[in-house]
Every structure is written in structure tokens, then in C-alpha cells.
Amino acid sequence: MVDNFASSDASDMNSQTVSQNSGTRVLGSPLLTANGLVKRFGGLVAVDNAAIEVPQGSITGLIGPNGAGKTTLFNLLSSFITPDAGQVLFDSNPIQNLPPHEIAHRGMVRTFQVARVLSRLSVLENMLLATQKQTGERFWNVWLRGKQIAKEERQQRDRALEILHSVGLAHKANDYAGGLSGGQRKLLEMGRALMTNPKLILLDEPAAGVNPTLINQICDRILTWNREGMTFLIIEHNMDVIMSLCDRVWVLAEGQNLAVGTPQEIQTNSQVLEAYLGN
Ligand SMILES: Nc1ncnc2c1ncn2[C@@H]1O[C@H](COP(=O)(O)OP(=O)(O)O)[C@@H](O)[C@H]1O
Ligand SMILES: [Mg+2]
């Protein structure tokens, strides 16, 4: 276990090789690093001097009892809220003062614990809206480059349908997103995140409210996307999901780092077990 989280030396996690269920994964240098993060809500310190590190190429887990501050930490990492103290580095650059859309543009996207979809648009339209910087956004380009736009739109549509297929929603492509179940909304949100081809995806409880068959499918997809080069940070209560996916797991309790280690180490850590049982 790491004792001093706030000043944990990033370099000792570089280029390590992790063997686990999913095979051998080679991890790179840190893609996302946060240190000394603090967030207060009135008298409550939701995140209290927390640190986290996500190596390039990893699937990193973030667990902890309800109310531990996990979602608040995600909000800080993705700049949806401003920290009272601390630093967030993405690709070695400080990002804590950038707006969320700029962070998304740099390649870090997140999903929400309660999925946010546009109910009155179709599932496919929700997917297509996620893409950025299409040529068609500029008037002169529309006029001068109609063919190029038609081609781009076709490509985006093909990609959207391919992703929808992989998250088990292809048959819903033309349905209103408002008609989806909670689990299906989560899948759609994950699909939307993928449309932007990000370097890092933050998933807030991807398996919550999703049926077991789909959970397995999501895990398989995450492993495939990871093999294709995408890095993940995942909040999840389902320990089977954490065990089968993650290289390394960070544990948060009462806003503070409680432990970090492999899923196997975390499952047998007495402090972690105590934090959960005490909940
Ligand atoms: N916007 C907010 N205003 C006030 N309190 C909040 C807010 N967001 C979260 N909290 C509180 O911060 C603590 C951590 O919440 P959260 O980050 O959602 O925990 P987790 O995701 O680990 O369950 C909880 O006590 C929660 O009630
Ligand atoms: Mg939460």
C-alpha cells in the first residue's frame, strides 16, 4: 500500500507490466494525475486532500462506500466543479482551470452516475450530436464542400451504428432516447463518449442498473477498446467488474485515499473491508 498519496511519485508507476485475467497489459507514463484535491460543500469536506493517478493504457478503478466522494472527485477531474485546492494534470498539462468542453477536446470525456441523454432525440441522433468539429459547422464549407460533408456524415453515421451495435443498442437506433431504461441510457452515454475517440474515458458506475448479460458485454467492450489504445478510469460498486477489468484500484473513504493496489490486494485489505462494513 502507498502511505503518502498526496506526494506519491508518479515515476514508480511508469512502464510497469500488469498480468491479470484479461492478459498482460503494458502501462505507460501517467495520462492523468491529481494531487491534493480538496472540495468543500459548506461544512462538509467531500474530497479531502485526495490524489489519483491513471497510467496510459490502464483500466484504473475507483471504489469506496457511498458518499466517499468518488463522483465529486470525477467532477473535479473533469472540471465540472472547481477545486478549493489541488492540481489536475492531463497529458502533463494542468487542466483544473479549463472548461469541461476544452478538456473533452483534449481527449478526456466522462459519463454521469445518472446518465444524461436528450430524451426527445433518437438514440442515433444522440450519438451524432456527440461528434465535434464537423466540417458542416461552417457556412462556407457547407457551400464549397458539400460532397466532403456528405462523406463525413456517412462515416459518422457508420461509426455511430457500429458503436451502438457494440453496446447492444443497434435495434434502438431510431427510437426516442427518452424511452430507454436507466441501464440502456448508461450504454448510450458510453457510446456517445466513444464517438469523440478520446484518450481517456471516466465512467461513473457503468454497470449500475444494467442487467448481467449486458454487464458482461460492456466489460468485453471496455477490454477491446482498451486493447485498441483507450485508457479508462472507472467508478464501480460491482467488484466482479473491478476484478475482471482493473490493473490498479484506488480506494476513497470520507474524501481521503484509503488504499491503492491491485484488485487482489484491495479485496483482502483489512482497512478497506472495515470501511465497507462500517458503511
Ligand atoms: N453539490 C453538492 N452539494 C452539497 N453536498 C454534496 C454535493 N455533491 C456531493 N455532496 C456530498 O458530498 C459527499 C460525497 O458525495 P459523492 O461524491 O456523490 O460520493 P460518492 O460518489 O462516493 O457516493 C456526500 O456526503 C454528498 O452528500
Ligand atoms: Mg457517486
CA distance to 10, 12, 32, 139, per residue, from 107 (Å): 21, 24, 11, 26
Q: So what's the pLDDT on residue 218?
A: 86
**Between these two residues, 218 and 199, which has the higher pLDDT value?**
199
- Any idea what the CATH number is for the domain that residue 87 is in? 3.40.50.300
Q: In terms of domains, do 22 and 88 share one?
A: yes
Question: Ligand 1: which residue has its CA nearest to atom 4?
Answer: 41
Residues 43, 148 within the same domain: no
Degrees to nearest 5, angle at CA 191 with 247 and 19? 15
The sheet carrying 231-235 orders its strands as 108-110, 200-204, 231-235, 59-63, 248-253, 256-261
Compute the average pLDDT of residues 2-20.
42
- The answer to whether residues 37 and 107 belong to one domain is yes
Element (H, E) at 68: none
One domain for residues 133 and 101: no
pTM value?
0.86
Band (144; pLDDT cuts 50, 70, 90): low
> What residue owns the CA closest to ligand 1's atom 17?
69
Q: Do 72 and 102 have their domain in common?
A: yes
Question: Quick check: is 27 in a domain?
Answer: yes
Q: Which residues lie closer than 8 Å to 162 by C-beta, 6 or more apart? A: none
62: nearest Cα among 53, 187, 14: 53
Average of per-residue pLDDT across 23-39: 89
Q: Which atom of ligand 1 is nearest to the CA of 74?
A: 17
Same domain, 200 and 159: no
Q: Is the CB of 56 under 6 A from ligand 1?
A: no
Which residue range(s) make up the domain with 104?
10-117+196-277
Res 149: pLDDT = 75
The percentage of residues in the chain with a pLDDT greater than 70, rounded to a whole number, is 86
- Please give the grid coordinates belonging to residue 268: 483482502
User: Would you put residue 141 in left (φ > 0), alpha (ψ -120 to 50) or beta?
Assistant: alpha
80 Cα–ligand 2 center, Å = 14
Q: Which atom of ligand 1 is nearest to the CA of 64?
A: 22
Asked, for residue 184, whether it belongs to a domain, the answer is no
CA-nearest residue, atom 7 of ligand 1: 41
Any domain includes 40: yes
Name the domain count of the chain: 2
Ligand nearest to the CA of 62: 1
Instruction: Report CA-CA distances (Å) from 156 to 86, 120, 145, 152, 244.
Output: 38, 20, 17, 6, 31
Q: Cα–Cα distance between 112 and 116 in angstroms, integer?
A: 7
Query: What CA–CA distance (Å, rounded) separates 114 from 109?
Result: 15
How confident is the model over 225-260, as pLDDT tens digits?
A: 999 899 999 999 999 999 999 999 999 999 999 999
One domain for residues 100 and 201: yes
Q: Which ligand is located closest to the Cα atom of residue 70?
A: 1
| Residue 5 domain-assigned (yes or no) | no
CB 49 within 8 A of CB 69: no
46 Cβ closer than 6 Å to some ligand 1 atom: yes
pLDDT band at 7 (very low <50, low <70, confident <90, very high): very low
Closest ligand by atom to 42 CA? 1
Grid cell for residue 23: 492478459
Percent of the chain with pLDDT over 90: 62
The beta-strand segments (E) located in 217-272 are 231-235, 248-253, 256-261
User: Closest ligand 1 atom to the C-alpha of 66?
Assistant: 23
Q: How many CB atoms lie within 10 A of CB 263?
A: 19
Q: Please state, in angstroms and rounded to a whole number, the distance separating the CA atoms of residues 156 and 275.
A: 45
pLDDT of 4 > 60? The answer is no
- The stretch 32-48 carries a mean pLDDT of 97
Q: Which of 43-57, 64-78, 129-143, 178-192 has the lowest mean pLDDT?
A: 129-143
Chain segment 158-212, per-residue pLDDT in tens = 999 999 998 889 999 999 999 998 888 888 999 999 998 899 999 999 998 888 8
Q: Is residue 257 part of a domain?
A: yes
For 180, the grid coordinates are: 430507454
Is it the case that residue 10 has pLDDT exceeding 50? no
pLDDT of 86-126, one tens digit each? Answer: 999 999 999 999 999 899 999 999 988 777 889 999 999 99
Is residue 24 located within the same domain as residue 70?
Answer: yes
Pick the atom of ligand 1 nearest to 81's CA. Answer: 1
In a domain, 191, yes or no: no
Domain boundary among 179, 214, 229: 179
15 and 91 fall within a common domain: yes
Q: Is 69 in the pocket of ligand 1 (CB under 6 A)?
A: yes
Say if 186 falls within a structural domain.
no
Q: In this structure, are 18 and 82 located in the same domain? A: yes
Give yes or no: residues 236 and 111 share one domain: yes
Confidence grade of residue 11 (pLDDT, cut at 50, 70, 90): very low
Residue 261 CB–ligand 1 contact under 6 Å: no
| Summary mean pLDDT of the chain | 86
Beta bridge partners of 257: 252
| Domain match, 34 and 124 both | no
Residue 99 in any domain: the answer is yes
Q: Which atom of ligand 1 is least distant from the CA of 252?
A: 22
Q: Which one of the ligands is nearest to 46 CA?
A: 1
Q: Is the CB of 255 under 6 A from ligand 1?
A: no
Q: For 116-130, what is each residue's pLDDT tens digit?
A: 889 999 999 999 988
